[in-house]
Structure 1
């Protein structure tokens, strides 16, 4: 027992520093007994530092968690909670698998820790499980936005129960599958929301159509529509589950009311319809009965006809009996009386044919003879043969009608077809001759009327000439045609005979009168040569119509007239000679114009052609040709033909170009119309400007289309620019509203800022970044909004840097306060020990577990810190400082490393446990870090 007191394990030493040293250097996690010792120390040791050291040595999440829940020391419990949080947030050297995380989620954890874990977690399965565990719907949007993983977002979508929430998720969703899923859900919800209205409207439409049946005129059509509407109604009632009870009952009651109304209104029509149906059945029966009777009648008729053709005998008694029986059936049937009468008459006619079989057979023989006879007669070839041949043909047709009548309409089909063939051939042969004969008749008739008209107008000489032609034509007419014109011809013949006696008496004074008039014209010519020539020609024409004057002066009168006519026409000859010279010059001008047109027509049609110049030349040549003046008619016809040919070639090329331009411009108009529907008006404006450039490059489209196409295109352009202007004004107003909105939102967020709390600054910064992410793309282009966020982030960044610097300074102050306290006391009992960062807590605890260090080493390390910080050292230690400075420079040159102040302080602590004699050195070190 005595030796047990001297040889206790160091982890049981009464000095906590010794126990900590044992934990760090002697106990191993690989030894089960040591592990149990560590667990015992972590749970029950009286020193907080020992417990912490044991927990740090074990460094297991399960142990950390157990300590955070059940350790008897609150400080250790808080420290363990902090370690658990670091592990879960990924800030610890312990790394968990997905399985470990999912198992740990169900442990008893604070809500704040779960939420922080949810924000930091990246594993999809764990995120979903955490969200279920936290069970805070208000976090859905932020979690969804933070975790752009498809599986996470699809799982979160299932927890969003409102359209507004889904709309928000859709705005921040990036993954196409996620966006499609949200859109599908929204569409389904929209369909469900709209379904009651759609079903109600559809039902009301069916009810309206059903009610309209009461005004139907066609009962059968109404019945068909009614059946269709009732079927539609039954289908619709299957959808009534989406309606409220009140809506459903209202529609069903309305349907019943309409059904009763329609039934009541259609009832009289139903009775009439049934009556009509019975009448239709009766009509059908009559038609079938009538068809049957006609068939029987036809069979009897065919039997008799066949007997006639084949010269067979017919049993007249049995056939008459068939006819009698059929007549009795007809009389007793339900067919109409008119049909009965027609059938009875036909059967009676058949009976008569039966009774006259010998006569009918003879008629068939006669018909055959007529066919044979007419087949041998030739067609007329001249008008002279027409009368005789046409008479024979007409007599033959009369004979045929008699034979056909005697045959009672039962001639063989072959004979009847032969008759039709002969008739058609003769009609075809006679038609042109008859037409020519009629033409000659009308010509003769017109000539006789012309003779009468000329006599009545005093143009006797002309009347004599026309009468000669009329007389010749009259003699060539047929006797029948002559008889038709005999009275008129006789009248003009008598008048012509009378005029022959009076011709000399009338012509002499008229010719003398004309000589007087033409003498005056020759002596005093008209100013217009064309009118002068026209007047001379009219006198010559009138002179020729007057006939012969007295024989003794006829020759003299003619010579005088010819001489005076020549004298009167002399000025015209001079004028026409001058005109001929002009026509020759015009001819040269037109030939030049033709050559230009042919040159233009020969130009190759390719991309190098200047179409504007080409079309200008075309128009100039056409105008030049119109203005060129008269030329000789014969020459003009040839020139004009050549010019038209050349200019037509040019015109066709221009027309093709115009049509290409028209088609291209119509395409541009169609493209502009599409741009009119574009949502991106800036894009539409840029595109339509490009279309305008293309339009200018297309060239002219011809006078018929150019203006109308441009007006249509310009109208669309104006509409697009007007829409852009409206959008600009609207966007400007919207941008101002958005700016004011973000100013207000930023103001609300920054209200929560506590200038002295780093956590507050970080929260506000994070919230502002979340808000910035919510800014629409269009809003991000708003420089004012960007500047708003930039200014706020700049302020927050400066504040964060200041607070971090302040926190670092405060941490150093706490570290050195703890060192001062630990120089004389157990450092674990320092009241603000938990406020020190965990790294320095461990370093301070490790220092307490060490033996007292070498004072000179600590002095040297203090000098090294002062050298690194550029601080002054005590004058008594200047030589040592200089030596150390040289050593440090040499070491830096060899290693290439530059130690930091923090690393230097850590090395300063590792020299050994601090004590009272180290306080001056602590003060010197503190001056480096806190000033």
Structure 2
């Protein structure tokens, strides 16, 4: 027996450890055949597994998975890894067969998300038939995969949920689908309402009587009807609406035909009126042309022009008489005018003599000499007036129809002469006006008793009066004589009346000189009053009056002497006041000069206002001095104010720009954005200086009004949204409450799934999402409870069937791996953490190691697979021991 194996190759040796040693020494390239034989035919599963691992040939692993029940699970794990890792050594046939027949759901799921073949991924997702996987693959996939998944997306109605994840054209197709879905929901109602509106308008058109309006609106409504998408309606509604349209359209056509007849009649009448108006216009134009021809008398009286004009007027009479509307009053009147013109043309020979006489008188008028100076003015004007009257008298012998051009000619000559003498006449009239004014002033002063002033004004009148010619003096001569007589009388009376007054005033001055320690202001007032009274006595003309005037002046100087020191002090105070005000003026000028470098216009304005207050509170001055300095201060103040106003205007312009930007936000439909823009503009507004009292208030009110309006709109929109959200929240709350009531009464898985779908499709507002999620969680718990109950019932039925020899059809299936019933039961006990018999602890340990390797390779089996594997490999009826073990697993 020993010699039997002496010449046997070590890889065929019956002892396991010798074959293992030989296996380790074999070369994969040189001993491939031996390794293949050992991998497929060796009696030890361990040797076969080691040989397969050393060859690492996926084809051999595939053969082993089909023929070697002990290595099937491990071989399939190798194939699974190759499939998942896209190993190029794996043939397409093996890969496809594995995927189609043997790959578990987990592998299929991984391939569906990781494989490079888009078609295979779609095929596997369709095979897995899990909406959540399809949704996940679509979200994570590129546009190509998304397009391939469109069919499944439509099958599971995931378009709305996946729209935001779609890319490129796929997104457009989903949007188009959802839009079409939306249109299918809303268009029937819209089309129905549109059809009703068009039919109502068609019916209402029959009440209108304006043919053009009815025709235009009817065409528009028919076009609208043609564009109406009736295909959104049911067949019955389409037929009903078409029947109504045909009926109303027929009635409207009849109404239009009647209106068209009336319209054509009106048009004919209008055409006739236009023809009559054209005839009247022709008549008026003809008369105007003929009158224009007859206006030039000189041309009519020369050559053959008169014959030509008479022929043209006769032709016009014939044309108007033969016109179809010759009976119109306007044409008859035109014919009468033309007849009168014909008569006047016939009387022209007689007129020629009168015109010649007018021309002679007109030549005389033209030859009137123009005055060279004021001494010739009166005679020249008189000669021209006589010649003008003679020429004007000749016009009365000329027919009115031919008088107009001669009158114009005469007026032109008169105007030309007036323009020639205008420099002299203007001076005379201005002097005459001034003289009249002074004469009237003199008369008024005499009536007021102001005789001294009246004498002075009368002298001015005499000076003006003597510059006038005799013709221009004539209107003032009566007034001149009257005033001269009155003033002579007053002068005689004044000499008589003022003699006692002069003596009295001299006595009062002497008393004033004798007074001791007078009050300066009082003495100055007394001196001023005495001088006024003395002046009222008139001018000194006699030697006695001259002596009295000299004595008065001497005494008045003595009376005023005590006041000189007081007024000298006043002069000093005046000089100080002038200096103070000049300093204010200089400060204002300096302020104006610094305007170019000003950075703080508010401080500048404060200085400006302070200087104005200082000027107001400065010491008082006499009127003349004050007026002079006030003019200088006003010039400096205006210059500073212009600088300040420039700053105001600049600020106003900036604020006007901000106001324009703010007003632009009135049309911004995004109210939140508009409010943010206005807040920024408010900050900018605050950074701009004062714009002047008038502009600042006006601009601010306008800017504030825009802000109030926009913020008011946003508040109104917010209130509206809040109200809409409240209404929507109330409606959605009612909907959720209705679903909640259904959830309380749910009893089957189908009902739970239906309610879950309603909740998933329901898109509540944010405050209700927690309630939605809570309801979904409760339903999921209910589903789990029902599924567990259903599963437990199935397990109970399964346990009952295992005591018999008949296994329920629903549990019959080919095991995913070739394992013994005991191995399947051990796997089930490991997965459910159920205890195994003490005698099987070693096997349980080995099985745990194998399951860990499978888990690491991605070929892990679940509880359900182990249950099916066990019940399909166990020999029925099972023993009481296995029954108790299996039951313990199902109850975990």
> Does structure 1 residue 119 correspond to structure 2 residue 113?
yes
Match of 2:332 among 329, 337, 340: 340
What does residue 89 of structure 1 align with? 84
Could you tell me whether the CA contact under 8 Å between 2:595 and 2:643 is conserved in 1?
A: no
10-19 vs 442-451, which moves further: 10-19
533-542 vs 742-751, which moves further: 742-751
Q: Secondary structure at the match of 2:569?
A: helix
> Does structure 1 residue 234 correspond to structure 2 residue 223?
yes
Equivalences for 1:44-443 in 2 at 5 Å?
A: 71=66, 82=77, 85-90=80-85, 93=87, 113-121=107-115, 127-128=121-122, 130-131=124-125, 134=128, 136-147=130-141, 149-153=142-146, 156=149, 168-169=161-162, 171=164, 223-224=212-213, 227=216, 230-231=219-220, 234-235=223-224, 237-241=226-230, 244=233, 271=262, 277-294=267-284, 297=287, 307-310=300-303, 314=307, 322=315, 325-326=318-319, 328-329=321-322, 333-334=325-326, 336-341=328-333, 343-362=334-353, 373-380=364-371, 387-393=378-384, 399=391, 402-403=394-395, 406=398, 409=401, 422-429=413-420, 438-443=429-434
- 1:859-894 CA-to-partner distances (Å, cap 9, x unmatched) read xxxxxxxxxxxxxxxxxxxxxxxxxxxxxxxxxxxx
> Does structure 1 residue 835 correspond to structure 2 residue 847?
no
Q: Secondary structure at the match of 2:618?
A: coil
- 1:715-774 CA-to-partner distances (Å, cap 9, x unmatched) read 9999999999x99xx9xx9999599679969988997999xxxxxxxxxxxxxxxxxxxx
- 1:365-398 CA-to-partner distances (Å, cap 9, x unmatched) read 5666566555544545666655554455555555
Gap change, CA 1:450 and 1:250, over 3 Å in 2: farther
Q: Distance in 1 between matches of 2:79 and 2:522?
A: 129
Q: 1:234: how far off?
A: 1.5
Q: Distance in 1 between matches of 2:285 and 2:671?
A: 80
What does residue 589 of structure 1 align with? 580
Could you tell me whether the CA contact under 8 Å between 1:508 and 1:550 is conserved in 2?
A: no
What does residue 911 of structure 1 align with? none
- 1:80-127 CA-to-partner distances (Å, cap 9, x unmatched) read 66555544433x755779999899977797666544432344665654
Q: Distance in 2 between matches of 1:374 and 1:418?
A: 12
Q: Distance in 1 between matches of 2:476 and 2:387?
A: 29
Q: Secondary structure at the match of 1:584?
A: helix
Q: Secondary structure at the match of 1:456?
A: helix
Q: Distance in 2 between matches of 1:7 and 1:264?
A: 122
Relative to the length of structure 2, the TM-score reads 0.60
Match of 1:627 among 596, 601, 617: 617
Structure 1, unmatched stretches of 5+, are 755-805, 843-931
Gap change, CA 1:518 and 1:403, over 3 Å in 2: same
Q: Figure out how many residues of one structure are paired with residues of the other and give that number.
A: 757
- 1:499-527 CA-to-partner distances (Å, cap 9, x unmatched) read 455444555677789889999999999x9
Give the CA RMSD over aligned residues: 7.1
Q: Distance in 2 between matches of 1:325 and 1:351?
A: 13
What does residue 455 of structure 1 align with? 446
Q: Distance in 2 between matches of 1:408 and 1:255?
A: 75
Could you tell me whether the CA contact under 8 Å between 1:532 and 1:569 is conserved in 2?
A: yes
Q: Distance in 2 between matches of 1:224 and 1:533?
A: 97
Q: Distance in 1 between matches of 2:93 and 2:531?
A: 132
Q: Distance in 1 between matches of 2:158 and 2:513?
A: 114
Gap change, CA 1:736 and 1:241, over 3 Å in 2: closer
Could you tell me whether the CA contact under 8 Å between 1:210 and 1:226 is conserved in 2?
A: no
Q: Distance in 2 between matches of 1:163 and 1:490?
A: 126
Gap change, CA 1:152 and 1:574, over 3 Å in 2: farther
Gap change, CA 1:160 and 1:359, over 3 Å in 2: farther
Q: 1:151: how far off?
A: 3.3
Gap change, CA 1:78 and 1:749, over 3 Å in 2: farther
Q: 1:487: how far off?
A: 6.3
Gap change, CA 1:54 and 1:265, over 3 Å in 2: same
Q: 1:238: how far off?
A: 0.2
Q: Distance in 2 between matches of 1:100 and 1:20?
A: 29
Could you tell me whether the CA contact under 8 Å between 1:371 and 1:418 is conserved in 2?
A: no
Q: Distance in 1 between matches of 2:534 and 2:193?
A: 97
Q: Distance in 2 between matches of 1:610 and 1:146?
A: 63
Q: 1:282: how far off?
A: 2.9
Q: Distance in 2 between matches of 1:56 and 1:346?
A: 134
Q: Distance in 2 between matches of 1:582 and 1:208?
A: 98
Gap change, CA 1:197 and 1:420, over 3 Å in 2: farther
Could you tell me whether the CA contact under 8 Å between 2:310 and 2:345 is conserved in 1?
A: no
Could you tell me whether the CA contact under 8 Å between 1:593 and 1:621 is conserved in 2?
A: yes
Q: Distance in 1 between matches of 2:102 and 2:43?
A: 26
Gap change, CA 1:663 and 1:110, over 3 Å in 2: farther
Gap change, CA 1:98 and 1:820, over 3 Å in 2: closer
Q: 1:581: how far off?
A: 1.2
Q: 1:38: how far off?
A: 10
Q: 1:350: how far off?
A: 1.9
Could you tell me whether the CA contact under 8 Å between 1:29 and 1:35 is conserved in 2?
A: no
Gap change, CA 1:24 and 1:642, over 3 Å in 2: farther
Could you tell me whether the CA contact under 8 Å between 1:454 and 1:460 is conserved in 2?
A: yes
Q: Distance in 2 between matches of 1:520 and 1:481?
A: 56
Q: Distance in 2 between matches of 1:108 and 1:420?
A: 128
Equivalences for 1:10-49 in 2 at 5 Å?
A: none
Q: 1:143: how far off?
A: 2.0
Gap change, CA 1:36 and 1:198, over 3 Å in 2: same
Relative to the length of structure 1, the TM-score reads 0.58
Q: Distance in 1 between matches of 2:111 and 2:147?
A: 20
Could you tell me whether the CA contact under 8 Å between 1:213 and 1:262 is conserved in 2?
A: no
Q: Secondary structure at the match of 1:629?
A: coil
Could you tell me whether the CA contact under 8 Å between 2:202 and 2:249 is conserved in 1?
A: yes
Could you tell me whether the CA contact under 8 Å between 1:65 and 1:81 is conserved in 2?
A: yes
What does residue 752 of structure 2 align with? none
Q: Distance in 2 between matches of 1:160 and 1:105?
A: 23
Q: 1:141: how far off?
A: 3.0
Gap change, CA 1:301 and 1:556, over 3 Å in 2: closer
Could you tell me whether the CA contact under 8 Å between 2:230 and 2:238 is conserved in 1?
A: no
- 1:323-342 CA-to-partner distances (Å, cap 9, x unmatched) read 76356447x7356414522x
Gap change, CA 1:460 and 1:687, over 3 Å in 2: closer
Gap change, CA 1:20 and 1:230, over 3 Å in 2: farther
Could you tell me whether the CA contact under 8 Å between 1:665 and 1:709 is conserved in 2?
A: yes
What does residue 862 of structure 2 align with? none
Gap change, CA 1:328 and 1:335, over 3 Å in 2: closer
Q: Distance in 1 between matches of 2:346 and 2:435?
A: 57
Q: 1:622: how far off?
A: 4.0
Gap change, CA 1:671 and 1:303, over 3 Å in 2: closer
Q: Distance in 2 between matches of 1:215 and 1:543?
A: 103
Could you tell me whether the CA contact under 8 Å between 1:661 and 1:698 is conserved in 2?
A: yes
Could you tell me whether the CA contact under 8 Å between 1:672 and 1:716 is conserved in 2?
A: yes
Could you tell me whether the CA contact under 8 Å between 2:320 and 2:331 is conserved in 1?
A: no
